[in-house]
Amino acid sequence: MTELIISQVVNGLVLGFLYVLIAIGLSIIFGMLGIVNFAHGVYFALGAYFALTLRDSLGPWAIVLAPLGVGIVGIVIEMTLMRPLYGKEPLLGLFMTFGIALFIEELIRTIWGAAGHPFNPPAWLSGFIVWGPVLVTKYRLFVLIVTVLILIALWLFLQGTRYGRIIRAGSRDPEMVSMLGINLKRVFTAVFGLGTAVAGIAGVLAAPLWSVVPSMSEAAIMPAFVVVTIGGLGSFGGAVISGLLVGVSVALSIQFWPAASTAVMYALMILILLVRPRGLLGESWERFE
Amino acid sequence: MKSLGKWLLHPVLVAGVVLSVLPFVLPRIGSSASLATEIAIYALYGLGFNLLLGYTGLVSFGASAFFGAASYAAGLAMLHFFNNIYLSIIFGTIASAVLGLIIGLLILRRRGIYFSLLTLAFTQLFYEIAFKWTDVTGGENGLQGIVRNTLVSPLAYHYFVVAVVLCGIYAIWRIVHSPFGRVLQAIRDNQQRVLCLGFDTTRFKLVAFVLSSTFIGLAGSLLTFMIQSVYADNLNWQHAGDPVMMTILGGIHHFLGSTWGALIFLTLGDKLSSITEHWWLVFGLILIAFILLSPEGVSGIWMRLRGRGDRWSLTEQEIPPQSKSVSLLNMESAAPVRADTPVLEVRGLSKRFGSLVVADKIDLTVKARTLHSVIGPNGAGKTTFFNILTGLMSHDAGTVSFLGRDITKMAPHKRIDSGLARSFQIVSVFSHLTVFETVRVAAQARSPYRASLWRDAYRLPDVCEKAWTLLATVGLVERAYELCSNLAHGEQRLLEIAVALATNPELLLLDEPLAGLGDADRERIGTLIRELSRRHTVLLIEHDIDRVLSLSDSITVFHQGHVIAEGEPSRIANDPAVLEAYLGRHGTRRTLSTSSESVARPDRAPLLTLKGVGAGYNTSDVLQNIDLEVREGEVVALLGRNGVGKTTTLMTIMGMLAPSRGSIDFGGKSIASLPPDQVNRCGIAIVPEGRRIFPNLTVLENLTLAQREGGWPLEEIYRLFPKLKMRQDARGENLSGGERQMLAIGRALCAPQRLILLDEPFEGLAPSVVAEVLAAIEQLRHKTSILLVEHKVDLVLDFADRAYIMVNGQMAYSGESRALRDDVETQTKFLGV
């Protein structure tokens, strides 16, 4: 029993860190542009599909190029479709991401078909690791390590670099940022590209875990919303805590009450938001309330 | 004849005709007749959804949850309880309404984005339940075996559905024209203003939420018997987008928008899906195209074709005619109140934000039928005081009693009910409502039918007449049909007053009713306020000191959250403490005053030149014909009372506001059309009003963010402000006012600059801190030019080279600051009490 719980907790952590990765991108885009990006799930899916296509010709390079490709798609979309809507009715931005989500998801179906594609991890990552009573696949452990590394890198980027500071400052007062000589348009584009590329990375990593199907965008976007809201909009730490919380809750309920495995995270979100209006670590953020 | 035409074009009739002929039209274009029934159902679904989105301004993703839940409720009722279509439909509808009530009670307290995400979570939760709880819902297979035992033929059921849907559409038509529905539309535009009219906005939103879920539930129940089964599919979040999509295609702000949306959405979907399985590809593109090109959908295109521009048609356009003899408000007719009775008594009111004290043991008594003014320099805590009085802001200690009743703990809308009314400093009207409607909604707050769902709001003669009377009193009758957003600034100010008057208040709180107005408007509104004080008790916040002195019966002076003087105008005008607060006369004398050579330098080259600049927000120009020059190495003071356009001038220079006229040159190059980041890169830095420190960044991060090659190195900034070094790891939100100011100045120095714009650098600072900041600015003058906005005159004149004085958006004076320093007459005329 205990072994089972521990194994599921580890699986939950893997899942949780993936959720965090998707949620962070969603969160920085939201903070900067003030738009809830409904299309975030399709960028995640695109990451997996790009890797699927590229790996036949490029091998391991596909892993790096796929997220970059997603970022470029994100940048093009921001420049052509999102930019005209800045400063207009905020609802339009939301509806636009919705339209983009519908379009790209169907595009994926058109290009790669509705059926799932298997995506096997490389040979050196297949198999299990047995560690006392705990049994984990090597690939899950790999995902765990990689996501943690990426999150640390992202955190260092946001906290320690000039660009990170611009992103954090811009989430509170974009006008003031521009009065300090920083080109806001370019920052918006870069943030959008970064957020979508990170979603793309998550997609690549998730490909061997969940098979590559069009519906994987839905499977990503809803948990990401939940994680961002529970953690508190704009909070990096909050997203990490809530991502792990959601991941572990989902993994445990898969084991013990499979029927409720997805419902549990929505129940969690409703409960936490009713008690803590701004989520676990959310700060008062007047722009969005 | 005209009325017949109008009757024939009534939306319910139009919808009825279209939905009735659809079963015959659709087969001709190759679709099935049953699609017509679906369109009718979705039309109601969309309208129910738009009651929240278009009318109330609530973005809910919960519509599909109610639609689906009602489908199941009706289906289960049919299978297990009634075996009767009609009862089952009623059951499904009621179930949805109850669900709406429960969810609404839980989540309507959450605002903005949190509300939307919560509706989404509920939708997903319902979907999971429906999909996984196989025993009850049939899970993936859905609920089968529902048989329509009456209305068996599809056509018979179609007309039954059309009849029910039309009843629903008619009900919604009544609701949106009812007093209740009109309030919803006001809430959409400005919730806080509605609250300040005495409406319980939370309850209005709750009722709207329940009504919406009722209509959606009715539609969902009808669907059950059309397809004679129920699937969980409709609950999925992608279907949560269905009503959104219909509404965008049809037009959010048009009554039948979602109906046309449903027609297009379903017909097009049906046609496209027969051509290609990837019809969503086309659909996604259509949706994106609409958002970019016609955000008001096909209704928007239709309106444009008819030459109506982007006018909305959520309700009928006409407003009730004004009665033959519109009278002005009778200033003498109000119920007699014993003079000398206190209307408002405030005792020991205190409020602090962290370390900042905004109200410190304030005592204030306002006597009946007097005009009592509250004045004080910027940041004195006047608006905060109003916010506490009206209950918009909580306070830490003290009591407020109004007409002998303790209202300290009363909810905002109840205070208004008991006879308080206020206008807002920032014009706060309903931008998408007509002028008439704005005043009418306010007057409705006093009607017994103020929340009626069924009456026609425009057939409440008392309310309409009151609205016309108020419009006549403030002189806006001619503009009654105009949208509020199209009014000039002065007209909006007048409208503000009319709205505040509409609730028959005993006490009228007016927050800077003259701000941003020209002389003629000031005169007009000032006289009006004086007259009103015979009928109401008026508490006035205003910066136009001349008018305050001539209008008021008594005056209270605030300074940094304290009451520093109180009494009749003549006494206040000569009170030394007041003079000090305004002009800083006997305040901090600087030690360096003699060392700095404040001499104009006409020999130097001009650095910044403004010629004939006009600028403003929306329709009204705040700045008119501004000429201003700053030369190399000069310190120029821009003086003027509050609200005359000093900050607007700085923002226009910075490129935050595009000038409507005139030219702005910097270092020989035009910067009038540059965005703010490029203006900054030309060499203009700003220390903005309110400092605008990034609260989530540390002191060091705030500085390094702005750092560019050629700016001051960090050590030099720390030498200038040693305090910043000690606090360099503190987050911006934890700094004191003085530290924030130092940081803001330091941040401006981080990038290379030839000119610094300083906006009220001493505002709200303690005297010792003022000296410190002043000493730092002294040092800057040798390295850069400075344009300084300030109202503490003597502080500035001692070291500025030249000074400008602005009055009401225009330059009233320019000259050497030495001359101005000695010219007490000019100072008093333009700046003093």
Q: Are B503 and B416 in contact (CB under 8 A)?
A: yes
Tell whether pTM > 0.95.
no
Q: Mean pLDDT, to the nearest integer, of A223-251? A: 90
Nearest to B237 by CA among B410, B65, B428, B493: B65
Name the strands in the sheet holding B420-422, side by side, starting at the edge strand that comes first in the sequence: B420-422, B507-511, B537-541, B371-375, B554-559, B562-567
Q: Mean pLDDT, to the nearest integer, of B263-274? A: 90
pLDDT at B799 over 70: yes
Contact criterion met (CB < 8 Å) for B677 and A269: no
Indicate the pLDDT class of residue A284, thresholds 50, 70 and 90: low
Structure token pair of residue B439: 């005043």
How much is the pLDDT for A7?
83
What are the CB-based long-range contacts (under 8 Å, 24+) for A81-89? A81/B288, A81/B292, A82/A33, A82/A35, A82/A192, A83/A185, A83/A188, A83/A189, A84/B292, A85/B291, A85/B292, A86/A33, A86/A188, A88/B295, A89/B295
Nearest to A180 by CA among B495, B502, B703, B355: B703
Segment A167-210, tens digit of pLDDT: 999 888 889 999 999 998 999 999 999 999 999 999 999 999 88
How much is the pLDDT for B324?
66
pLDDT at B2 over 80: no
Q: How far is CA B25 from CA B22, B36, B71, B103, B728, in A?
A: 5, 9, 28, 40, 74
Segment B555-597, tens digit of pLDDT: 999 887 888 888 888 888 888 887 777 665 444 444 444 444 4
Give chain A's mean pLDDT: 89
Nearest to B507 by CA among B343, B349, B340: B343
The residue that leads in pLDDT, A126 or B489, is: A126
- Mark which residues 241-300 of B lie under 8 Å from A by CB: 241, 244-245, 248, 252, 278, 280-281, 283-285, 287-288, 291-292, 295
How much is the pLDDT for B587?
41
- B201-220 burial string, b = 16+ CB within 10 Å, else e? bbebbbbbbbbbbbbbbbbb
Which among A94, A179, A229 has the least Cβ separation from residue B686?
A: A179
**Helix (H) or strand (E) segment spanning residue B352:** strand B342-353
Torsion of CA A56, A57, A60, A61, to 10 degrees: -140
Which among A165, A259, A270 has the least Cβ separation from residue B705?
A: A165
Contact criterion met (CB < 8 Å) for B241 and A98: yes
A150 to chain B nearest CA, in Å? 22
Contact criterion met (CB < 8 Å) for A102 and B237: no
pLDDT at B74 over 80: yes
Q: Which residues have a Cβ under 8 Å from the Cβ of B234 and sit 6 or more positions away?
A: B64, B67, B68, B71, B220, B223
Spatial distance between the Cα atoms of B23 and B20, rounded to a whole number of angstroms = 7
3-state secondary structure of B216: helix
Q: Mean pLDDT, to the nearest integer, of B662-669? A: 92
How much is the pLDDT for B403?
87
Segment B396-455, tens digit of pLDDT: 889 999 988 898 888 888 888 888 898 887 777 898 999 999 999 999 998 999 999 989
How much is the pLDDT for B237?
67
Q: Mean pLDDT, to the nearest integer, of A24-28? A: 90
- Mark which residues 162-201 of B lie under 8 Å from A by CB: none
Name the residue type at position A213: V
How much is the pLDDT for A121?
86
Spatial distance between the Cα atoms of B495 and B820, rounded to a whole number of angstroms = 39
How much is the pLDDT for B596?
46
In B514-577, beta strands by DSSP E: 537-541, 554-559, 562-567
Sign of the torsion formed by the C-alpha atoms of A76, A79, A81 and A86: positive
Structure token pair of residue B28: 């001709």
Structure token pair of residue B573: 């005008």
Mutate: best of A94, A176, A227, partner B, most B CBs <10 A:
A176
Name the residue type at position B146: I
How much is the pLDDT for A178?
94
B288 to chain A nearest CA, in Å? 6
Q: Which residues have a Cβ under 8 Å from the Cβ of B302 and sit 6 or more positions away?
A: none
Segment B159-209, tens digit of pLDDT: 999 999 999 999 999 999 999 999 999 999 999 899 989 899 999 999 999
Partner residues linked to B617 by β-bridges? B620
Q: Which residues have a Cβ under 8 Å from the Cβ of B481 and sit 6 or more positions away?
A: B319, B434, B435, B436
B322 phi and psi, to 5 degrees? Answer: -80, 145
Contact criterion met (CB < 8 Å) for B675 and A105: no
A120 to chain B nearest CA, in Å? 28
**Helix (H) or strand (E) segment spanning residue B610:** strand B606-617
Contact criterion met (CB < 8 Å) for A274 and B284: no
Spatial distance between the Cα atoms of B33 and B25, rounded to a whole number of angstroms = 8
Give CA angle at B172 (B169, B174), nearest 5°.
110
A248 to chain B nearest CA, in Å? 18
Nearest to B327 by CA among B427, B192, B477: B477
B338 to chain A nearest CA, in Å? 44
How much is the pLDDT for B788?
92
3-state secondary structure of B367: strand
How much is the pLDDT for A285?
60
A101: closest chain B residue by CA = B284
Segment B350-377, tens digit of pLDDT: 988 766 778 888 999 998 888 999 988 7
Structure token pair of residue A165: 């500071």
* DSSP single-letter state for residue B313: B
Contact criterion met (CB < 8 Å) for A263 and B129: yes
How much is the pLDDT for B339?
61
Spatial distance between the Cα atoms of B235 and B238, rounded to a whole number of angstroms = 8
How much is the pLDDT for B588?
42
What are the CB-based long-range contacts (under 8 Å, 24+) for B83-88? B83/B149, B84/B149, B85/B148, B85/B149, B85/B150, B85/B151, B85/B225, B88/B221, B88/B224, B88/B225
In a 13 Å sphere around the CA of B705, the CA atoms on its Cβ side amount to 32
How much is the pLDDT for B573?
81
Segment B749-788, tens digit of pLDDT: 999 999 999 998 887 777 778 888 888 888 888 889 999 9
Structure token pair of residue A281: 């670590």
Q: Mean pLDDT, to the nearest integer, of B659-679? A: 92
Residues in A closer than 8 angstroms to B711, CB to CB, are: none
Roughly what angle, to the nearest 10 degrees, separates helices B519-532 and B489-501?
Answer: 10
Spatial distance between the Cα atoms of B350 and B395, rounded to a whole number of angstroms = 6
How much is the pLDDT for B169?
96
Segment B582-640, tens digit of pLDDT: 665 444 444 444 444 445 555 678 899 999 998 877 656 778 889 999 998 899 999 88
Name the residue type at position B235: L
pLDDT at B311 over 60: yes
Q: Which residues have a Cβ under 8 Å from the Cβ of A123 and sit 6 or more positions away?
A: none
**CB proximity B82 to A under 8 Å:** no
Q: What percent of chain B has pLDDT above 90?
A: 42
The CB density around residue A118, as the number of other CB atoms within 10 Å, is: 9
Structure token pair of residue B554: 């008594």
Q: How far is CA B281 from CA A85, B284, B293, B742, in A?
A: 22, 5, 18, 55
Residue with tokens 């005169």: B523
Contact criterion met (CB < 8 Å) for B681 and A85: no
Contact criterion met (CB < 8 Å) for A99 and B291: yes
Give chain B's mean pLDDT: 87
Roughly what angle, to the nearest 10 degrees, separates helices B34-50 and B63-76?
Answer: 130
Q: What percent of chain B has pLDDT above 70?
A: 93
**CB proximity B145 to A under 8 Å:** no
How much is the pLDDT for B601?
56
3-state secondary structure of B406: strand
Dmax (CA) for chain B in angstroms is 101
Q: Mean pLDDT, to the nearest integer, of B31-54? A: 94
Nearest to B677 by CA among A41, A213, A263, A188: A188
3-state secondary structure of B540: strand
Q: How many CB pairs under 8 A join A and B?
A: 168
ipTM score of complex: 0.91
B749: closest chain A residue by CA = A180
Comparing B319-328, B571-580, B655-664, B703-712, which segment has the lowest mean pLDDT?
Answer: B319-328
Contact criterion met (CB < 8 Å) for B706 and A288: no
Q: How far is CA B76 from CA B222, B234, B439, in A?
A: 13, 16, 49
Q: How far apart are the first and last CA of chain A?
A: 45
